[in-house]
Amino acid sequence: MTNILWPIITMGALGLLFSIGLVLAYKKLRVEEDPRVVKISEVLPQANCGACGYSGCRAFAEAVVKGEASPNGCPVGGGEASEQIADILGVKVEDTAKKVARVLCRGSLEAAKDRGFYTGISTCAAAHLIGGNKQCSFGCLGFGDCARACPFDAIEMGKDGLPVISEEKCTACGICVEECPRDIIELYPVSQDILVFCRSRDKAALSRKFCKNACIACGICVRACPEGIILEDNLAKIADYSKIKEEHIPAIEKCPTKAIGRISQE
């Protein structure tokens, strides 16, 4: 019996000693932390995607409390998160429209011609180094760098060789926008459903030769709604979406190459 007594006493005494040490350290060395940082961190999505420009959700929360970042700076959390953050800080934020990433190219495998037989590395970035695998030097390369980069699994490569972005899953973090070497993905408000699906600034004759679905700058859409749509660099451009009214849309949709029009809902 006494054999076990001594170990219990020594271990107990050691434990007591260390716990006193810990208590003292806690009292003396404690760093005061703003409770708001913890609260804000809790309402953030914890995806640590970096879309806000900070290294993670926690860093963003600290920046918001310090006043370096705006409460609506988290594109993933969107309006809901920014409202909650504003509540915690006791400020008001203006409502930000939810955005979504859109693919601005319809140069599918069938529509856009290949340059030749590309045998290099199967990533868009690598293919872009040598000018790309397609004849069009502005369109989608189709190797899916965007799909691999998306942290929310919102992008899938479709059978036609173009990325398909799920509107529900997309959080508008903008990582795909950064990743795409051809800059064909852009963030748009969800409500905007008329877009130009082409980025080719080649002259009409060339872009028509390279891709069936390229904008040929014929101006049909511009005539349909001159206030909202302009031609720039051989390419139609929506200058002011608010000017495009419902009655203009049938005329806009007469686009011979379907390079401008409504987003197809599949």
Partner 1 sequence: MKRHTFPHGIHPPELKHLTESKDIETVPAPETLVIPLHQHFGKPAKPLVEKGDDIFLGQKIAESDGLFSASVHSSVSGKVKSIDPFSHPGGSPVPAVTVINDGEDRTDSKILKKEMSLEEVARLSSKEILEKVKEAGVVGMGGAAFPTAVKLNPPSDKPIDCFILNGCECEPMLTADDRLMQKYPHEIIKGAELACKATGAKRIIIGIEDNKKKAYALFCQQVKNCPSIFLSESERPFREVALLKTKYPQGAEKNLIYALLKREVPRGGLPFDVGTVVQNVATSKAIWDAVSRNRPLYERIVTVSGSGVNETKNVSVRIGTPIYHVLDFCGGIKEDANLLIIGGPMMGIVQWTTDVPVIKGTSGIITWKVSQAPLEFSCIRCSRCVDHCPMRLVPTQLAKLVKYDHLSEAESWGILDCVECGSCQYICPSKIPLVQWLRLGKTKIISKKRKKSA
**Sign of CA pseudo-dihedral 46, 98, 171, 183:** negative
- Residues numbered 201 to 260 that lie near partner 1 (CB under 8 A) are 201-203
Does residue 189 interact with partner 1 by CB under 8 A?
no
d(CA 262, CA 252): 9
- Per CB under 8 A, 53 contacts partner 1: no
Nearest-angstrom CA–CA distance, 140 and 158: 12
Tokens of 193: 């459903």
Shortest approach of partner 1 to residue 119 CB, angstroms? 4
- Least spacing, CB of residue 93 vs partner 1, in Å: 29
Binding mask 114-133 for partner 1 (x = CB under 8 A): -xxx-xxx-x-xx--xxxx-
For partner 1, give the closer residue by CB, 100 or 216.
216
CB count in 10 Å sphere of residue 247 = 9
Nearer to partner 1 (CB atom), residue 1 or residue 205: 205
Which residue lies nearer to partner 1 by CB, 149 or 196? Answer: 149
Residue 192 contacts partner 1 per CB under 8 A: no
| Nearest one of 118, 143, 147, 148 to 130, comparing CA atoms | 118
Q: Min. distance of Cβ 203 from partner 1 in angstroms?
A: 7
Paired residues of 7 in beta bridges? none
Q: Which residues, in sequence order, are CB contacts of 58 under 8 Å at separation 6+? A: 37, 41
Name the residues that contact partner 1, by CB under 8 A: 115-117, 119-121, 123, 125-126, 129-132, 135, 137, 201-203
